[in-house]
Amino acid sequence: MVSKAEVVKLTDGACAEKMTEWMYGWWGRRENYPREAVREDILHSFGVERLPQTYGLFAGDELAGMYQFTHADLFVRPDIYPWLANVYLEPRFRGVGLGRVLLESVRGNASAAGLDELYLYTAHTGLYEKFGWEYVRDIDTYLEPRVQRLYRLDLRRPGSEKDPLLRR
CATH number where 125 lies: 3.40.630.30
Q: Does residue 28 surpass a pLDDT of 90?
A: yes
Overall number of domains in the chain: 1
**Starting from the edge strand earliest in sequence, which strands make up the sheet with 117-122, in order?**
5-9, 53-59, 62-70, 83-89, 117-122, 147-154, 134-140
Q: What angle (nearest 5°) sits at the alpha carbon of residue 137, between those of residues 141 and 70?
A: 55
Among 44-48, 77-81, 103-107, 136-140, the least confident range: 44-48
How confident is the model over 34-60, as pLDDT tens digits?
999 999 999 999 988 899 999 999 999
The alpha carbon of 111 is separated from its chain's Cα centroid by a whole number of angstroms, namely 15
How confident is the model over 55-86, as pLDDT tens digits?
999 999 999 999 999 999 999 999 999 999 99
Containing structural domain, residue 155 = 5-167
Q: What pTM does this model have? A: 0.89
Q: Does residue 1 surpass a pLDDT of 80?
A: no
